[in-house]
Chains A and B, each alone.
Chain A
Amino acid sequence: MRRLDRAAEYLARSAARGTSRRGFIGRLGAFLTVSGAATLLPVARARAERAPNPVQVQEQGDPMSCEYWRYCAVDGFLCSCCGGSASSCPPGTEPSPITWVGTCRNPVDGRNYIISYNDCCGKAACGRCNCSRDEGATPTYQPTTSNDLDWCLGTQAGVAYHCSTSVVLGPAD
Chain B
Amino acid sequence: MKTLLALSLLALGASQAMAAPPKPAPPKLAPLKPEELTTVELKEQMPPHWVLVNDISFLHIADGRAYLIDADSGHFLGTIPGGMSHTGVAVSPDGRTAMVPGTYYSRGSRGKRTDVVTFYKISDLMPGDEVEIPAKRIQSLPLPSTIPLTDDGRFLLVYNFTPEQSVSVVDAQARKLVGEFPTPGCGLMHMTGSRGFLMQCADGSLQAAALDANGAVHLGATTKPLFTADDPASDKPVRIGPSTWLFTTFAGDVAVIDGAGGQIAVKARWKLAGADESAWRPGGLQPLAYHAPSGRLFVLMHKGGAGTHKFPGEEIWVYDVAAAKRTARITLDQPASAVAVSGDAAPLLYTTLFGSGTLAVRDPGTGAVLRKVEGLGSDLTLIQPAPVAATAGAR
Residues of A that sit less than 8 Å from B by CB: 1-2, 4, 9, 12, 15-16, 19-25, 27-28, 31, 73, 75, 98, 122-125, 127, 132-144, 148-150, 152-154, 157-161
Contacts and interface: CB of A to CB of B under 8 A. Distances in A.
A148 B235 CA distance: 11
Contact of B184 (A12, A20, A127, A152): A20
Given A141-B200, A160-B84, A150 B140 contact: yes
A139 B163 CA distance: 14
18 contacts: A21-B184, A21-B222, A22-B184, A27-B184, A132-B310, A134-B310, A137-B309, A139-B232, A140-B141, A141-B186, A141-B188, A150-B85, A153-B162, A158-B105, A158-B110, A159-B84, A160-B84, A160-B105
Contact of A142 (B85, B141, B202): B202
Interface string B290-314: 0000000000000000111110000
A27 B139 contact: no
**Main SS of the interface on chain A?**
loop
A142 to B, nearest CB: 5
Given A124-B59, A125-B59, A160-B105, A140 B185 contact: no
A150 B160 CA distance: 12
A148 B143 CA distance: 10
Contacts of A19: 165, 184-185, 201-202
B58 A139 contact: no
Interface in B158-216: 161-165, 182, 184-188, 199-203
B185 A16 contact: yes
Interface centre among B163, B182, B188 (most CB of A within 10 A): B163
A161 B110 contact: no
A153 B160 CA distance: 12
Interface in B306-339: 306-310
Interface centre among B85, B109, B188, B309 (most CB of A within 10 A): B109
Contact of A159 (B103, B141, B186): B103
B200 A149 contact: no
A137 B46 CA distance: 38
B383 interface: no
Chain B, interface residues (CB within 8 Å), range: 35 or more
B60 interface: yes
B136 to A, nearest CB: 9
Interface in B123-180: 138-141, 143, 161-165
B230 interface: yes
B110 A160 contact: yes
A139 B235 contact: yes
B203 A138 contact: no
A125 B60 CA distance: 7
B110 A15 contact: no
Nearest to B142: A148
A19 B165 CA distance: 9
Contacts of A27: 163-164, 184-185
B229 interface: yes
B227 to A, nearest CB: 10
A137 to B, nearest CB: 7
Contacts of A12: 202, 229
Contacts of B163: 27-28, 31, 98, 143, 153
A123 B309 CA distance: 28
Contacts of A153: 139, 161-163
Contacts of B187: 140-141, 143
Interface string B52-91: 0000001111100000000000000000000011000000
Contacts of A149: 138-140, 161
A5 B313 CA distance: 29
Given A21-B185, A139-B233, A152 B139 contact: yes
Closest 4 CB pairs of A and B: A150-B139, A19-B185, A139-B235, A160-B109
Contacts of A133: 307
B267 interface: no
Given A1-B306, A23-B184, 14 more contacts: A4-B229, A16-B203, A122-B110, A127-B59, A132-B310, A133-B307, A134-B308, A136-B306, A140-B140, A140-B235, A141-B235, A158-B105, A159-B84, A160-B105
B234 interface: yes
Contacts of B58: 125
A2 to B, nearest CB: 6
A20 B389 CA distance: 37
B218 interface: no
